[in-house]
């Protein structure tokens, strides 16, 4: 199996945890891969996939634009966004700030900070198509609408918690929670998609 290059955006959020979880997932799957922390445009070159961690979505957007990554990120064929990363992938964002932009790659509508501030963060066991585990929600967004090409992976009480979209040769995965803190399941799933290409 060909070695792949997996990038993790390294500006904010649990990027260290994402790197560690990706390493564990690669080992579990017996896949060979390079994990690259991305902070500059040159690090996007030759990536097979990109993980966008949580953080604050408007700050992430500003840092990506300032460092010249924004347009090139749109060309990455496989992207996984958690929390704020999910917001960046959405085509529509509710309650966004005045100059907030997104990459507009995934046919979802998302409400940023739908659960309130840091004090409203919580952990709970959830059921997903990939398995059940404890999920951590930190100032999480809420997916309010999904397009026809969206496949739901996790849902609770009619609320979408994670979903995916294949768009010709491109693939996008988002979760409102932080799997990097409790499980390798979602990273394994994302890696399988990349390595199957």
- Catalytic residue positions? 83, 178, 180
CB 144 within 8 A of CB 94: yes
Q: Does the CA dihedral 110-152-47-51 come out positive or negative? A: positive
Residues placed in the known binding site:
55-57, 112, 138-139
Task: Specify the 3-state DSSP secondary structure of 8.
Answer: strand
Task: Specify the 3-state DSSP secondary structure of 57.
Answer: helix
Task: Specify the 3-state DSSP secondary structure of 135.
Answer: strand
Residues placed in the known binding site for L-glutamine:
55-57, 112, 138-139
CA–CA separation, 53 and 85 (whole Å): 5
């Amino acid at each position: 199996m060909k070695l792949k290059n997996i990038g993790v955006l390294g500006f904010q959020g649990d990027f260290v945890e994402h790197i560690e979880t990706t390493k564990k997932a690669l080992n579990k799957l017996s896949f060979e891969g390079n994990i690259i922390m991305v902070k500059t445009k040159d690090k996007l070159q030759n990536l097979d996939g990109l993980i966008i961690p949580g953080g604050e979505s408007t700050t992430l957007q500003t840092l990506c634009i300032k460092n010249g990554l924004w347009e090139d990120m749109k060309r990455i064929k496989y992207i996984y966004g958690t929390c704020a990363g999910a917001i960046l992938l959405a085509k529509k964002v509710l309650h966004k700030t005045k100059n907030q932009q997104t990459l507009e790659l995934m046919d979802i509508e998302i409400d940023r900070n739908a659960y309130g501030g840091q004090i409203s963060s919580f952990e709970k066991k959830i059921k997903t198509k990939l398995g059940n585990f404890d999920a951590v929600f930190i100032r999480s967004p809420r997916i309010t609408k999904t397009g026809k090409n969206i496949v739901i992976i996790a849902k609770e009480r009619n609320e979408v918690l994670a979903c995916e979209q294949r768009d010709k040769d491109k693939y996008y995965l988002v979760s409102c929670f932080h799997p990097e803190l409790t499980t390798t399941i979602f990273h394994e799933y994302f890696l399988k998609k990349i390595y199957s290409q």
